[in-house]
């Protein structure tokens, strides 16, 4: 039976944004995405980000799956101004669609000013589109659906592209969010595609480092600033990237980027060092870490060398207080014998034990 999705209990209260780690896989996990497909997916992702009001904090587009760390802010009090609505519509619709909406809004506003109509007339026009904004499910459904239609036309195929509905994990801001962002950006390193995450074009870190001063490069830097510093009330502002934010993030990524060596003994008794995982030369990593090192971030980085199942199946990730708070709000989803929500992370996630907690106790195949 399909499980109900874990959504923040406060998502409709307008109190604060919600962060989710979203994962979706290609049907049969086939390697369907080459450079063209990844570029098109990223294009649609940015389009729907601009339309929906959601923020992509981190992402990685792999050959057969996609990771997105998505922040869903509440709709502003009072809704959108007409010009803001039209600006968002232009992110995904041609002017031939937007112009009639603009005309309809102008006529409604004029009728309201003349006393021939009430505010509900303009509100109804807004609601035709705003129900799809600031909403996790609508963002992912629209993005994946749009890309599927493009992919099927491009490859002359029909049917579903995705293995099942997307997974999502509720993530607390602060340490949990920055750890999840690094986990996402390190996907191509763990897969052996690149030795440095900065070299992978279709990820938030690769785009932040290699992108231009404007456009998507700026957007990627702003997203990572928000992922790392939202708990300190930093907005998604790329100007904060240069300096401590980029350095702190680099620490976690560097630890994972180093090659792993193993000493082996030959049949003749000679000793040699074998590279068991490709990456940046360890002396290069050590030199850079010597300038930037922080013990907690290094421990987290080492944890991220592994596939951490909690980050895809843990449902809710954050501090003990955060996870217990979600548990209390969603008490009806658990049996009577369950007294607390937070569960200590183990296995490959043990480095984060005591700092990050999960609402699910994953007892097997962790790593």
What three-state secondary structure class fits 205?
helix
Task: Kindly report the backbone phi and psi dihedral angles of residue 45, in degrees, each rounded to the nearest multiple of 5, phi listed first.
Answer: -60, -45
Dist CA 203 CA 62 (whole Å): 9
Band of residue 15 on the pLDDT scale cut at 50, 70, 90? confident
Greatest alpha-carbon span in the chain: 97
What's the pLDDT at 354? Answer: 63
Residue 308, pLDDT > 70, answer no
The string of pLDDT tens digits covering residues 215-225 is 788 999 999 99
At a CB cut-off of 8 Å and minimum separation 6, what does 123 contact?
Answer: 79
If phi over 0 gives left and psi between -120 and 50 gives alpha, with beta otherwise, what is residue 229? Answer: alpha
The string of pLDDT tens digits covering residues 242-289 is 888 888 898 878 876 667 778 787 777 788 877 776 666 677 777 777
Band of residue 357 on the pLDDT scale cut at 50, 70, 90? confident
The CATH T-level fold of domain 18-75+137-358 is Alpha-Beta Plaits (3.30.70)
Provide mean pLDDT across the span 153-163: 93
Residue 332, pLDDT > 90, answer no
Nearest one of 186, 166, 182 to 227, comparing CA atoms: 182
Band of residue 337 on the pLDDT scale cut at 50, 70, 90? confident
DSSP notation for 241-299: IIIIIHHHHHHHHHHHHB-EEEEEE-TTS-EEEEEEE--B-HHHHHHHHHHH--HHHHH
- How large is the C-alpha radius of gyration of the chain? 23
Which tops the pLDDT comparison, 362 or 236?
236
Dist CA 154 CA 151 (whole Å): 5
Task: Kindly report the backbone phi and psi dihedral angles of residue 71, in degrees, each rounded to the nearest multiple of 5, phi listed first.
Answer: -100, 130
Tokens representing residue 68 in the block: 């997105």
What's the pLDDT at 234? Answer: 84
What's the pLDDT at 300? Answer: 54
Placement of tokens 């009001």 in the chain: 53
The region of weakest confidence among 44-58, 100-114, 153-167, 234-248 is 234-248
- Average of per-residue pLDDT values in the chain: 83
Dist CA 61 CA 67 (whole Å): 7
The region of weakest confidence among 6-20, 55-69, 228-242 is 6-20
| CA 47 to chain centroid | 16
Task: Name the burial class of residue 110, with classes exposed (0-12), middle (13-18) and buried (19+) by CB atoms within 10 angstroms of its CB.
Answer: exposed
Residue 140, pLDDT > 80, answer yes
Provide mean pLDDT across the span 146-159: 95
Residue 350, pLDDT > 60, answer no
Placement of tokens 């100007």 in the chain: 239
pTM of the entire structure?
0.81
What's the pLDDT at 311? Answer: 64
Q: Where are the domains of the chain?
A: 18-75+137-358, 82-130
Residue 296, pLDDT > 70, answer no
Residue 37, pLDDT > 90, answer yes
Q: Do residues 357 and 345 touch, judged by C-beta distance below 8 A?
A: yes
Dist CA 283 CA 273 (whole Å): 14
The string of pLDDT tens digits covering residues 82-93 is 999 999 999 999
- How many other CB atoms sit within 10 Å of the CB of residue 12? 11
């Amino acid at each position: 039976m399909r499980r109900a999705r874990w959504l923040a209990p406060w998502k409709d209260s307008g109190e604060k944004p919600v962060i989710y780690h979203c994962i979706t896989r290609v049907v049969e996990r086939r390697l369907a995405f080459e450079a063209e497909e990844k570029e098109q997916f990223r294009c649609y992702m940015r389009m729907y980000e601009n339309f929906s009001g959601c923020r992509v904090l981190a992402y990685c587009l792999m050959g057969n799956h996609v990771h997105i760390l998505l922040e869903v802010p509440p709709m502003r009090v009072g809704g959108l101004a007409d010009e803001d609505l039209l600006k968002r519509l232009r992110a995904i619709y041609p002017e031939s669609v937007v112009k009639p909406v603009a005309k309809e809004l102008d006529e409604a506003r004029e009728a309201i000013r003349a006393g021939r109509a009430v505010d509900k007339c303009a509100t109804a026009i807004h609601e035709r589109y705003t129900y799809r904004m600031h909403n996790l499910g609508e963002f992912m459904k629209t993005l994946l659906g749009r890309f599927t239609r493009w992919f099927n036309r491009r490859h002359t195929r029909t049917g579903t592209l995705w293995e099942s509905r997307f997974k999502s994990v509720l993530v607390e801001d602060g340490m949990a969010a920055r750890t999840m962002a690094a986990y996402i950006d390190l996907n191509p390193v763990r897969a052996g595609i690149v030795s440095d995450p900065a070299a992978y074009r279709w990820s938030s870190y690769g785009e932040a480092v290699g992108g231009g001063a404007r456009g998507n490069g700026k957007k990627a830097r702003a997203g990572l600033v928000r992922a790392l510093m939202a708990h300190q009330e930093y907005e998604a502002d790329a100007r904060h990237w240069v300096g401590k934010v980029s350095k702190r993030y680099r620490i976690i990524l560097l630890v994972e980027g180093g090659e792993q060596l193993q000493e082996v003994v030959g049949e003749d008794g000679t000793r040699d060092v074998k590279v068991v995982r490709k990456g940046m030369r360890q002396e290069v990593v050590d030199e850079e870490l010597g300038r930037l090192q922080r013990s907690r971030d290094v421990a987290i980085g080492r944890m991220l060398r592994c596939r951490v199942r909690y980050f895809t199946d843990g449902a809710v990730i954050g501090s003990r207080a955060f996870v217990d708070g979600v548990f209390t709000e969603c008490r009806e989803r658990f049996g009577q014998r369950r007294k607390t929500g937070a569960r200590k992370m183990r296995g490959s996630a043990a480095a984060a034990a005591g700092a990050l907690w999960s609402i699910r106790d994953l007892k097997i195949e962790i790593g």
